[in-house]
Structure formats: C-alpha cells, structure tokens
Amino acid sequence: MADTLTVTDNRTGKTYELAINDGTVKAIDLRDIKVDEEDFGLMVYDPAFKNTAACRSSITLIDGDKGILRYRGYPIEQLAEQSTFLEVAYLLLWGELPSKSELDSWVNEVTHHTYVHQYVLRGMEGFKWDAHAMGKVVSMLGTLSTFYGDSKKVRDPKVRREHIVKIIAKMPTIAAWCYRHMLGRPYIYPDNELSYAGNFMNMLFRMAEPRYKPDPIIERALDVLFILHADHEQNCSASAARAVGSAETDPYCSLAAASAALYGPLHGGANEAVLRMLREIGSVSEIPAFIEGVKKRERRLMGFGHRVYKNYDPRARIIKGLAHQVFEVTGKNPLLDIALELEKIALDDDFFVSRKLYPNVDFYSGLIYQSIGFPVEFFPVLFAIPRAAGWLAQWKEMLEDPEQKIARPRQIYTGYDERPYVPVDER
Ligand code: ACO
C-alpha cells in the first residue's frame, strides 16, 4: 500500500489523501484543502521551523536522539581523528573525499588565495579598536563582495567554485586581521609554507620572529575544532545563507548574513556566553546557587541544550578530550574545574535530565580558545572560519536544487482589517 495520509476536514466533511515521501507530506498539497473556492487553502503554522523540512540535503546527518553527526556519511569522530579541515571542506562541498592528487591541488588552490586586497584593510581601519570582531567579519564579507562583482553570477558553476575557494582561503586572513586590529598590532600576511591552521596562527600571533612556527599540538587542536564546526545541517546560520542566497545574492553577502546569524548568543555566540558564565560563577562552591537560579528560570545554563541533540552532542565529547591535550601545552584553564563540576551536577539533576539538556559543542570549546589566548569576543569568529565551508556547501546545494526557489514564508495576519487613514490633527 502506498504511503499516504488521509485527512478529513471537519469543516466540510471532505476527505483528502496526501502522499507521504521520506516521512514528510508536502505543505503545498494542503493548499487543496479549502472550505470554498474563495478560500486560499490550508497552510501549516510552524514558528521557528521546528517541524518543517525546508530542503533535501545530502551534506550532513544529525541523529539528535542517538547523538550522531556525519558529514557525507562519515562519522565526525573518524574525521576528527584522521582527516584535516581542508579535506573535510572538500568533502562537504564536492560530496566525496578527494584522491591524493585532488587533495593536493585543492590545498594548493586554497593556499594561493589567502591574500586579501589591500583596500579591504582600509575598511578595517574605519572600525573602533574595541568593535566586536563578529561585526567586523560581517562587514568584511560584505566588503569583499564589492571587490568581486562577477561573484553575482551564481548560476555559473565555474564562478561559484572560484569564489568558494576565495572565501575558504580568505576567512582566516580576515579573521586574523580583525584580531590584530583589536589589539592594535600590525597585520601579518599569509605564509604559504604553513598549513591552513598553522598559517592562521601565524597571522594571529607572529611578532618579531622572521618565521612563525606553530606549536603542533595547538595547530592540530585548531584544525580538529575547525572540522567539528564545519557544518551542522539546517541550523540558524545555514538557513540564513540559504534564504539570502535564494534571492541569487552573491556568496559573500549570503555568508555575511550567515555570519550575522551565527553572532547571536543562542547560536555561535554561546561559547562566549559560556566563558562569561563560568567567570561569573567564579568558584565551584557557587555552582549550587547558580543551578537554583537556572531552575527558577532566572538564568540559562549556557552551552547546554540543543534544538536537535537530545543526547550528548558528539562534538562536545571530542572537544572535552581535546581540551586536556591543549592544557598540556598551555597549562590548565582554572575555569575547567567549574565547568566539569557544573556538567556533573547538571547531568545528575532532574531539571536537565527530564528536558534532555546535555552539553553542546560550545560548553568546552571556549575553555580551549581562552587557554590558547583568544579574548572571548573572538570566539564566534573562530566558529565562523570553518563554518564558512558548511555555509558554502549548503548555499551551493540550494542553488543546484531544481525544487528550490526564493525563500518566502507565509504568515497568519493578526493585524487590523481595513480602516481609513486619520489625519494627524484628528487623532
Ligand atoms: N538552560 C536552562 N534551561 C534550558 C536550557 C538551558 N541552556 N535550554 C533549554 N532549557 C529549557 C527551556 O527553558 C525549556 O524548559 P520548559 O519546557 O520547562 O519551558 C526546555 O528546556 C526546552 O527548551 P527550548 O528553549 O524550547 O529549546 P530550544 O530547542 O528552543 O532551544 C537552545 C535550544 C536555543 C540551544 C537552548 O537550549 C539554549 O538556549 N541553550 C543555551 C545556549 C546555547 O548553548 N546555545 C548553543 C547551541 S549549539 C550551537 O548553536 C552551536
């Protein structure tokens, strides 16, 4: 028997049969359900898209109940263990792991597009020294769009590829320049002899030394963090990239929109919020009072909970292990004890257990970033660099999907019916 859903409209007594494919019914099929010919037809109401599939995607799979995350079928644990960020970016974008020669030429291509036009720096100079780094990233992406007018040809796969490479290559340069600007330090240019993460560290941290040598443990830790953050299917920022990109906006501006979404404290700003929260708690003895405040809904336990994961976030588990490796080099972060105790208490408390609230990717990543020496306001930027690969993969898939059109939700209008305008002196 075919997979169908039989619906009876009790307003009219009429029965409709809707096709079920891949566990979904098409919202547009509901439009046939009408009380009369004048009726617009039934819609679904789904604020925050909690139960709406907005696309078909073959990029990333999350099974929130089982705590599974896979890119193109490959488990995140295996990629974090054995792959590199640039290989993962290739996988996300082009669908398969590259052969050795494909990987070499991809790495070479990205490495040779890391320089950013000098005039972009002038834009950077316009910011106040204490401007939030994410605001600068959003603006810099918008600025880059003005340098690459041909990127508007989003329907041309060759043009798309060219600008995908440019964005992946230039994200660390822009990010590092935002950082140096924040500290008032001179900008450092890319070193093509270094890896993606190693070069990023060079542009961030090099001072008077003629050649920067990244610490291999920190370099690998950053690369693994990049892998873990590279994509996460239809999250708020990926949806922003898709929605803005669906208007055939160029990829730089589409990613500026995605970065703006990532900036929010409920999304990519959460790792910053976690650090501030741990600092505010201050000591292990203050945790019970803090937890009480959360249960009374005066606070949120930042870094806990996820719209999709209703089990331990698999990225959080990897990051927790990574934190210990980084602390071997940097020394233990004093906030770690508070984080570990907070996690222990929360995982034992019915308030969190019954709501399936577990640590997410941001709970421990902030501790690593802080130990490496990053200021908290830079954390979302460290998230945006690798996520650019995911945003681009989602944007490209959206453009290549014949079912997609400009994103345009419907509304339930709750305002006034028609009423006549009243001149100001008669109100
Ligand atoms: N602390 C305390 N209570 C929480 C938390 C939290 N972190 N998260 C959810 N809850 C509670 C809610 O109050 C709600 O309780 P109720 O049913 O009694 O009203 C219940 O758990 C369900 O929460 P929702 O807000 O409905 O869950 P939603 O899926 O909308 O939100 C979100 C998910 C935004 C991530 C939320 O858990 C949150 O705010 N977490 C803290 C911020 C954070 O860490 N964000 C990073 C997410 S990962 C990422 O974007 C990279």
Does residue 15 carry a pLDDT above 80?
yes
Mean pLDDT, to the nearest integer, of 32-59? 96
Which of the listed residues 300, 343, 364 should we mutate to test ligand 1's pocket, taking the one with most ligand atoms within 8 A of CB? 300
Note the pLDDT of residue 307.
84
**Strand 14-21 to strand 24-25: parallel, antiparallel, or no bridges (unpaired)?**
antiparallel
Counting residues of the chain whose pLDDT is more than 70, the rounded percentage is: 100
**Ligand 1 atom showing the smallest separation from residue 304 Cα:** 7
Give me the helices (H) in 282-313, please.
287-295
**Ligand 1 contact, 299 CB (< 6 A):** no
| pLDDT the model gives residue 46 | 97
> Closest ligand 1 atom, CA of 355?
21
Give Cβ neighbours of residue 421 (< 8 Å, ≥ 6 apart): none
Q: Write down the pLDDT at residue 39.
A: 96
360 pocket-lining for ligand 1 (C-beta < 6 Å): yes
pLDDT given at position 313: 87
Tokens of 161: 């590829």
User: Residue 401's pLDDT is what?
Assistant: 98
From 232, 277, 307, give the residue whose CB has the most ligand 1 atoms within 8 Å, as the site to mutate: 307
266 CA → ligand 1 middle, Å: 8
- pTM for the whole structure: 0.92
Q: Cβ(270) to ligand 1 under 6 A?
A: yes
- In short, whether 357's Cβ falls inside 6 Å of ligand 1 is yes
DSSP-assigned beta bridge partners for residue 7 = 16
pLDDT in tens, 89-114: 999 999 999 999 999 999 999 999 99
* Structure token digits, residue 279: 């600092």
Angle between helix axes 379-400 and 216-229 (nearest 10 degrees) is: 40
Which atom of ligand 1 is nearest the CA belonging to 308? Answer: 29
Tell which atom from ligand 1 comes closest to the C-alpha of 360: 48
- Please give the pLDDT value at position 1: 62
Task: Please tell me the distance between residue 356's alpha carbon and the centre of ligand 1 in angstroms.
Answer: 10
The whole-chain average pLDDT of the chain stands at 95
Q: Name the band, by pLDDT with cuts 50, 70 and 90, for residue 376.
A: confident
Q: Tokens 């030394």 label which residue?
A: 209
Beta bridge partners of 24: 21
Q: Is 163 in the pocket of ligand 1 (CB under 6 A)?
A: no
Alpha carbon 400 to chain centroid distance?
21
Which residue's entry shows tokens 């925050």?
48
Given a contact cutoff of 8 angstroms between Cβ atoms, the answer to whether 357 and 398 are in contact is no
Per-residue confidence (pLDDT) for residue 29, from 0 to 100? 97
Which residue lies with its CA nearest to atom 24 of ligand 1? 307
Say whether pLDDT at 278 is over 90: yes
Give the residue, by CA position, lying nearest to ligand 1 atom 32: 306
346 Cα: distance to centroid of ligand 1 (angstroms): 14
Q: What is the pLDDT of residue 185?
A: 95
User: Ligand 1, closest atom to CA 232?
Assistant: 51
pLDDT > 90? residue 269: no
Q: What phi, psi does 374 have (nearest 5°)?
A: -80, 140
Tally Cβ neighbours within 10 Å of residue 334: 13
Q: How far is the CA of 305 from the centre of ligand 1 (A)?
A: 5
pLDDT attached to residue 266:
84
Give the mean pLDDT of 22-41: 97
Tell me: the pLDDT tens digits for 393-410? 999 999 999 999 999 999
Q: Which residue in 274, 261, 260 sits closest to 319, CA to CA?
A: 274
Answer yes or no: is pLDDT of 3 > 70. yes
161 pocket-lining for ligand 1 (C-beta < 6 Å): no
| Domains observed in the chain | 69-265+376-400 (1.10.580.10), 270-372 (1.10.230.10)
The pLDDT value recorded for residue 70 is 98
Quick one: how many helices (H) and strands (E) in the chain?
Answer: 17, 6
Positions annotated as catalytic residues are 267, 306, 362
Centroid of ligand 1 to alpha carbon of 357 (angstroms)? 7
List, as one string, the DSSP characters of 113-141. Answer: T----HHHHHHHHTS-TTS-HHHHHHHHH
- Distance of CA 61 from the midpoint of ligand 1 (Å): 21
304-326, pLDDT tens digit by residue?
998 888 888 899 889 988 998 99
What would the pLDDT profile of 192-251 be if each residue is shown by its tens digit? Answer: 999 999 999 999 999 999 999 999 999 999 999 999 999 999 999 999 999 999 999 999
Ligand 1 centroid from CA 306, angstroms: 6
Report CA Rg, the chain.
24
Cβ of residue 307 lying under 6 Å from some atom of ligand 1? yes
Q: What is the pLDDT of residues 147-157, one digit of tens each?
A: 999 999 999 99
Q: Which residues pair with 61 in a beta bridge?
A: 70
CB burial string 254-279: b at 16+ within 10 A, e below: bbbbbbbbbbeeebbbbbbbbbebbe
